[in-house]
Amino acid sequence: MAGFTRSRAMVGALTLVLSLALAGCGDDGKKPQFVGGAAPSSSVDADSGTAEPSTPATPSGPPLVLSPADGTKNKPVSTEISAKLPDGSKVSAVTLTAASGGTVEGKLRTDGSSWVPSTPLKYGTRYTATVTATGSDGTTSQGTSSFTTMAKPKSTIGSGLYLFDDKTYGVAMPVVTEFHPGIPKKDRAAVQKRMFVRTDPPQPGAWHWVDNGTQAYYRAPEYWKPGTTITVRIALAGVPLSNGRYGDIDRKATAKIGRSFVMKVDNATKKMTVYEDGALVRTLPVSLGKKSTPSSSGTMVVMEKKESTVFDTSDDPNPANRYVTDIDFAQRLTWGGEYIHAAPWSEHVQGRQNVSHGCVNVSMANARWLFDKTRIGDPITIKGTERRLAAGNGWTAWSLSWSEFVKGSALPVPEGGAGPAL
């Protein structure tokens, strides 16, 4: 069956509505919420990238040239601290203090290119940065610079992060960011440099931008390892864009990846095979979308779950597709309205014939069993239908091969994927 009403809530008081002219099975009218806000990290350790309090050694070499330069005004609150280093030297300490005397915590990028404050700087505030570098021979160099941040901008973008602190997700849960309006293509590299992802155990990954710049996904070459911790900081507050706007706020979340639970649907057999931690645990008959309203082929992700909801298509331009129906055990797969859900009215044809409006119909018993087993972020791959999954219609990060996915990055991606940037 189908339904189609759409809205979502974003933490950070932003609602983004993506208009997708795509046929769909159902929509109960709410999207997952975004999580926002960044927490502080620490100060600086040049080798590990973590910030540890330290007492700079007395300089014995030439002074360092810092950026921002001394006396600079109107710097963005996203400003990072960097220095021109003597050959063979590495940063050994960074101290950033506000005029009020407060010390700002931060971390050094893993490539040593700059030191990133762990929270946005304050608008209209004077800061003093002191950087110490140590050479292989023990020689130390130091530089100091004072600069002032800009006033709060009047025009900002809206942003969102689809991830909740302390939640456990499926192995296909991508890191999903959204922007309104979209990020201009010329700005995406600079924005992407401020989108930090760290995994434990470490796994390489990459970002991929949807064409209009309203979404970016981060994933690994393969599904996440069960038990992985993902720590994300989308550090966009004050980032200047070419359209005269600035990033709105920092967003941060730390989440867990649970066991592996993978669903595969083949239109040829009209069966769903379900694997838990790699072992086949059940085979279910299904009914997919009929030819006039086909299901999407591709790898999708469970985005939200409703034990009971209402599919309402009363505003569909086609009178034949208008109805209001109570639905049990609904699991959203696309923004266009495709779900896995119980369909007791089609049980007699499940496994033999497609009769839905694009959803994956299963029996009441099987829908209940799936609903009790799945998590947000569990993947489902559907193959053999008349329609290909459209990019951005749901969390479509896994519907591309790795080689295709990395082409959507605004920055070069090393072979196998990039490690953490911070």
User: CATH for 158-259?
Assistant: 2.60.40.3710
CB 35 within 8 A of CB 163: yes
Classify 124 as helix, strand or coil.
Answer: coil
C-beta contacts of 404-407 below 8 A and 24+ residues apart: 405/206, 405/208, 405/219, 406/206, 406/208, 407/208
Average pLDDT over residues 307-318: 78
Intrachain domains 65-149 and 158-259 with the same fold: yes
| Whether residue 168 has pLDDT greater than 60 | yes
Higher pLDDT, 187 or 166: 187
The string of pLDDT tens digits covering residues 34-52 is 333 333 333 333 333 444 4
The string of pLDDT tens digits covering residues 112-148 is 899 999 999 999 999 999 999 999 888 999 999 999 9
What's the whole-model pTM score?
0.83
Structural domain boundaries in the chain: 65-149, 158-259, 261-390
Residue 41's pLDDT is 33
- CA 280 remoteness from chain centre: 30
Q: Residue 68, preceding bond cis, omega within 30 degrees?
A: yes
Reported as a pLDDT band with limits 50, 70 and 90, residue 310 is: confident
Residue 322's pLDDT is 64
β-sheet bridge partners, residue 3:
none
Reported as a pLDDT band with limits 50, 70 and 90, residue 25 is: low
- Range scoring the smallest mean pLDDT among 32-36, 344-348, 365-369: 32-36
Residue 87's pLDDT is 87
Per cent of the chain over pLDDT 70 is 83
Higher pLDDT, 175 or 392: 175
The string of pLDDT tens digits covering residues 171-181 is 999 999 999 99
User: CATH for 65-149?
Assistant: 2.60.40.3780
Average pLDDT over residues 335-364: 96
Residue 4's pLDDT is 36
Architecture of domain 261-390: Beta Barrel (2.40)
